[in-house]
Structure 1
Amino acid sequence: MNAYLYLATLLTVSAWSFSRGGAPERAAMAAIVVAVFATAAVASHRIFGGREVGVFAVDTILTFVVVTLALLAERFWLLWLAAILIVSLLLQLAIWYAPLYYRDVYLILHAMSAYPTLILILLGTLRHRHRMKTKGHDPSWSRDNRA
């Protein structure tokens, strides 16, 4: 994964989501931005040279935040995002306990969820904009639909 390409994509998608998205889109984007910077802060100088407990902790917290958002929000795409992050966590654990440590596989598995998460937030923001145009409203949270 090219770090500069990812950061440019992150900047673009986050600017779009923060300016055009609803509350769930902004919350998920904020969580991902915080997680990106936290991952950079806790990663070892030789990233994925060994078991990255700090990176795993950041990913675990991000997953819990997104699962909570998925449970509270009126957005289907958050369920997909939560699923991607859960699978990514499980794959990290699986590679930790592989008979041989595969640095490249670990790196690929961790990066594998990076772009799909941004694509999902972008699609979620586009769907939010579409619902706002066609219906004039788009409830953000599950309790907003109660009568």
Structure 2
Amino acid sequence: MLEVLVNNSDYIDVIVKIIQGFTSVGVIIGLFIACLQLRSGLKSNRINILKSEFDIFLKISEAEEDFIDYLDEIENIQLDKKSNDLLNKKREAYYKALNLACLYVLERCFTKKHFLNEYKGILVAIYKVLENNNMLDDYVNIKNLVIKYKLKS
């Protein structure tokens, strides 16, 4: 029986090489599938980032619209304390939405290019208002973004 094994060693070598070949092909196929899944994951991640940007841009637009509509509503009247408080709340909601978006840009969760294309002028104007009213420390992300990207003119 030992003679049969010794004589069949050539067959065993061939079988081992075939198994090694299949293993190599399996590894290559596995790497290819992993690369496809990674590519799909990256594409999905980009889409999620764009959806998040859209959501925060919508939130900023709604806060801005609410603030501006209220400004138009009270334009020619004398503000009482209640109206003034409401104005300040609407302004603060708008600034906080922008401040949050600035944080996302600073942390690279959002693309700087998209955000600045949409809000660069507004940020500079708000920065100046906050600076004049000594309120920059209340909206530190707006301050840091304007300074980091040298938007101040």
Scaled by the length of structure 2, the TM-score of the pair is: 0.34
Higher normalized contact order (CA 8 Å, seq sep 6+, divided by chain length): 1
Which of these two proteins has the greater Rg computed from alpha carbons?
A: 2
